Amino acid sequence: MSVSSPAPAPAPVPASAGVSGPTQAELLDFVRRTAADTELIASLPLDPEGRTWVRLAGPGGSEAWLIGWPPGTGTGWHDHADSVGAFVAAAGELTELSLAARLPTDGWKTLELSDGVDRQRRLPAGQGRAFGRHHVHEVLNESPDRHAISVHAYYPPLPQIRRYSRSGQVLRLEQVERPEDWQ
């Protein structure tokens, strides 16, 4: 993995984003507008083996990232704790696997998932989505030969990321990461 220095983000902060922070819709609007900035997207250094990222200035105190995905890479199952978020594929195509189930937020290590909770979305360039707190998902670049690039924003700035392993219908909490682990 490699980390790049911060880059400025385009677009003004929405007036409504000031007091209580940006909404999911405002974050989605921000990542869509940022993903359309072809000069910014082209400036991301890409690594053939590991994801690369640049931190961006997000709207209303949010945390934002420009992320490069080599062919065949992914995040693994995770959530963003108490943050809401949005992301858009800016180049290439991403796949999001997610769970349509409300999970307990604390006090568990292993859960058996019900049938029918799995969701899959293909997100070609220009497509994305917003999500609420405790959204458990995995994001993948399934292309065998093409990088993908995406823009992500979270509010409040990520207090933690919980990482999970999955075997069939069993989801297991494996690790809790804090900002100092990825910044």
Query: Where are the domains positioned within the chain?
Result: 16-181
Edge-to-edge order in the sheet of strand 84-91: 2-3, 52-57, 63-69, 148-155, 84-91, 128-131
Annotated ligand binding at 78? The verdict is yes
pLDDT of residue 181: 81
- Per-residue confidence band for 102, with pLDDT thresholds at 50, 70 and 90: confident
pLDDT of residue 104: 77
pLDDT for residue 13 is more than 70 = no
Question: Yes or no: is domain 16-181 CATH 2.60.120.10?
Answer: yes
What's the predicted TM-score (pTM) here?
A: 0.86
The per-residue DSSP string of 29-49 comes to HHHHHHHT-HHHHHTS---SS
What does the pLDDT average to over 59-77? Answer: 97
Residue with tokens 């998932």: 113
Which of 48, 11, 49 has its CA nearest to residue 27? 11
Note the pLDDT tens digit of each residue in 22-63: 999 999 999 999 999 999 999 999 999 999 999 999 999 999
Annotated ligand binding at 80? The verdict is yes
pLDDT of residue 183: 64
Note the pLDDT tens digit of each residue in 134-155: 899 999 999 999 999 999 999 9
- Per-residue confidence band for 71, with pLDDT thresholds at 50, 70 and 90: very high
pLDDT of residue 20: 85
Neighbours of 68 (CB within 10 A): 25
pLDDT of residue 6: 40
In sign, the C-alpha dihedral spanning 91, 32, 99, 83 is positive
Q: Are 97 and 120 in contact (CB under 8 A)?
A: yes
pLDDT of residue 16: 42
pLDDT for residue 103 is more than 50 = yes
